[in-house]
């Protein structure tokens, strides 16, 4: 999966990253879906262990252009996990109170506790994406944030949080189809907002902003993965696999039970 791992300071040109490729899966789409079911089962067991051990904290950051598939990933990759130990934090337009604090204030409150997995659906990266593209703060302010974000994530890491960040990379054509679907299919209309069309006209500015994010904030302690995401099944397969590898690498074990437990007979 290192193919999609962004090395620190790597120069990124998103137009050179194919959004449709499926090179790490040689079989067909249906096989990938069955593989994902197996991955889900393993993730489920390891999540239970993470919850029981209460030692590690896992933070997963999802970022994408509109229609990029963040919700889809949450649905298919985390299917079956125990909801007691997994939480989704979605970051929307900041409220007045949030705006009165620094941009990391609302983020830090949602970071995982011991034994917990938290998925960020959008994140502090919006503060160098939408905020930059729409000039919501001056350049001097947003441009200082890359270093601040690295420092913030370093604190989380040094205090025991494992961080994985995924950028779901779709093409502009794919977005066009997905937006049109949201208009044409009645059950999908709730997802559509006119604002999405306005954002689409700013596609190039967003791509540039994402390039800077990937270039400046992929670190050894909080790496970015650039996931080709035009094909949902491949996107889910990759993220599931990376997540599983990460969980395995934590070398978790169940806590030691109380001494003499094996002799206890419940009457
Ligand atoms: P959605 O994820 O479709 O529900 O939309 C959430 C909206 O909130 C998106 O348009 C984001 O760009 C916006 N958003 C999230 N974080 C921020 C932020 N820090 N500043 C401004 N807008 C934000
Ligand atoms: Mg939206």
Tell me the domain boundaries of the chain: 2-254
pLDDT in tens, 202-258: 999 999 999 999 999 999 999 999 999 999 999 999 999 999 999 999 999 999 999
pLDDT of the residue at 80: 83
How many percent of the chain have pLDDT more than 90?
97
pLDDT of the residue at 79: 86
Q: Does residue 106 line the site of ligand 1, with CB under 6 A? A: no
Indicate the Cα dihedral angle 202, 208, 213, 218, nearest 10°.
140
Q: What is the chain's mean pLDDT, rounded?
A: 97
pLDDT of the residue at 153: 98
Residues 6+ apart with CB under 8 A from 251: none
> Which mean pLDDT values do the consecutive 10-residue runs of the chain (267 residues) have?
95 98 95 96 97 97 98 94 94 98 98 98 98 98 98 98 98 98 96 95 98 98 98 98 98 94 94
pLDDT of the residue at 181: 97
**Phi and psi torsions of 242, nearest 5°:** -65, -40
Element (H, E) at 166: strand 161-169
Name the 3-class secondary structure at 29: helix
Q: How many residues does the chain have?
A: 267
Structure tokens at 217: 């904030």
The residues with which 204 forms a beta bridge, in sequence order, are none
Tell me the CA–centroid distance for residue 104 and ligand 1, in Å: 14
Tell me the CA–centroid distance for residue 61 and ligand 2, in Å: 17
Q: Does residue 202 line the site of ligand 1, with CB under 6 A? A: no
Tell me the CA–centroid distance for residue 196 and ligand 2, in Å: 7
pLDDT of the residue at 1: 87
Q: Does residue 126 line the site of ligand 1, with CB under 6 A? A: yes
Say if residue 151 is exposed, middle or buried (CB neighbours under 10 Å; 0-12, 13-18, 19+). exposed
Q: Which CATH class is domain 2-254?
A: alpha beta
Q: Whose CA is nearest to atom 5 of ligand 1?
A: 92
Structure tokens at 242: 């990376």
Q: Label each residue of 76-94 as H, E or C.
A: HHCCCCCCCCEEEEECCCC
Tell me the CA–centroid distance for residue 150 and ligand 1, in Å: 21
pTM here? 0.97
């Amino acid at each position: 999966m290192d193919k999609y791992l962004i090395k620190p300071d790597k120069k990124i040109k998103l137009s050179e990253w194919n959004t449709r490729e499926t090179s790490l899966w040689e079989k067909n789409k249906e096989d990938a879906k069955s593989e994902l079911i197996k991955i889900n089962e393993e993730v489920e067991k390891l999540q239970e262990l993470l919850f029981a051990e209460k030692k590690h904290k896992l933070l997963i950051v999802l970022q994408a252009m509109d229609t990029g598939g963040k919700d889809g990933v949450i649905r298919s990759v985390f299917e079956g996990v125990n909801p007691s130990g997994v939480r989704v934090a979605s970051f929307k337009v900041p409220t007045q109170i949030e705006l009165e604090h620094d941009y990391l204030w609302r983020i830090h409150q949602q970071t995982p506790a011991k034994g917990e997995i938290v998925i960020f659906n959008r994140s502090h990266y919006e503060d160098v994406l939408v905020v930059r593209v729409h000039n919501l703060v001056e350049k001097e302010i947003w441009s200082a944030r890359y270093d601040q974000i690295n420092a913030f994530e370093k604190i989380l890491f040094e205090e025991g949080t494992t961080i994985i960040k995924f950028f779901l990379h779709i093409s502009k054509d794919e977005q066009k189809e997905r937006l049109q679907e949201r208009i044409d299919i009645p059950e999908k209309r709730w997802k559509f907002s006119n604002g999405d069309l306005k954002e689409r006209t700013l596609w190039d500015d967003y791509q540039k902003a994402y390039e800077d994010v990937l270039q400046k904030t992929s670190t050894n302690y909080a790496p970015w993965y650039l996931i080709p995401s035009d094909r949902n099944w491949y996107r889910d397969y990759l993220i599931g696999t990376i997540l599983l590898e990460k969980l395995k690498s934590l070398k978790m074990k169940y806590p030691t039970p109380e001494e003499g437990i094996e002799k206890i007979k419940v009457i």
